[in-house]
Structure 1
């Protein structure tokens, strides 16, 4: 298997629930924030494990003398190696771990993993500075969603399958949550009609 054989799978959009948003800048009053979309390093690792589980590796080294904790990462996928630097954000409690995650994600972008997120339009949203959180999250456009989420009920099915990934949860509330998503998905595919003249 060559890198060119799996390029489309590497570049495919992530499920919407795996995409997070973080503030990149604020207005002067800190009542509005510009949010950037991103995925975490675990999502990148899961993507690589799903596509080439035995043929990728990530190496890193600490960059000595850097003003902020910095890691040089080296990601090799199917014999092809790409390098990039990762930095920890200000105030991070585990700066070198954060820098390593950043380096992995930056290297992965060079293979096309999550690169589409850079093409998203800028999203300015209302910001609650006391909670350090946006008042609402942006929606991803259709083109930034995987194929199965563009079909009726797809997002609900993904949520249900994620919860059933290992086993049916023992917790009754979680079982109800799974049932709710499945019911919503089936309802989207086969909507119920209230026409009494129609046979059930």
Structure 2
């Protein structure tokens, strides 16, 4: 097995319940926050265990002299190595464990794991400062959900968006393919009205 064989599975969206939210910035006296989505280190490890359980490893070394606990992480997946730095956040009580978790997540992003979360649109929401969480958990867009969590037609929309990501294809057959997916997606979103139109 090679990394290219499992790339799509590594990059697949996580179930919504595994995605957490933290504040990236505040407004209105900590009553509103710019929300940033993230997954925890355990979700990364579970993803790697599910796809290549015997072919990944993580090592780290402590970086001395940093203002907060900092480590250099080294994640190896199917013989391919990615490295990145992890830091303990201010709310993490400054532990090496928090720095290690940050490092494995940063390394994993270089393999595409959870990278799609960086593409989410900016979102300001009401913030509960006592719970350090949004008042209401945001809903992820369809494209940021696994197949089984998407609404009817979601898979068709994803296929069309993938083909249109760069430009409308010149090839007429590919254009027809995009049209077919969009038509199927729209039909599945309002099947009752579509059937009524046919009956009329």
TM bin (shorter chain): 0.7 to 0.9
Classify 1:79/1:33 alpha carbon distance in 2 versus 1 (closer, same or farther; 3 Å).
Answer: same
Task: Count residues with an aligned counterpart.
Answer: 152
Query: Alpha-carbon deviation of 1:96?
Result: 0.5
Which string of whole-angstrom CA distances, capped at 9 and with x for unpartnered residues, describes residues 26-63 of structure 1? 01521110110000000000000000000000000000
Separation in 1, partners of 2:133, 2:151: 31
Structure 2 unaligned blocks of 5 or more: 153-200
Separation in 2, partners of 1:109, 1:133: 23
TM-score (norm: length of structure 2):
0.73
| Aligned counterpart, 2:97 | 97
Structure 1 unaligned blocks of 5 or more: 153-200
| Aligned counterpart, 1:54 | 54
Separation in 1, partners of 2:150, 2:133: 28
TM-score (norm: length of structure 1):
0.73
* 1:51-90 map, 5 Å: 51-90=51-90
| Aligned counterpart, 1:43 | 43
Query: Alpha-carbon deviation of 1:92?
Result: 1.8
| Aligned counterpart, 2:127 | 127
Query: Alpha-carbon deviation of 1:129?
Result: 2.5
Separation in 1, partners of 2:22, 2:104: 18
- The alignment yields a C-alpha RMSD, in angstroms, of 1.3
Q: Contact between 2:142 and 2:151, CA under 8 Å: does it hold in 1?
A: no
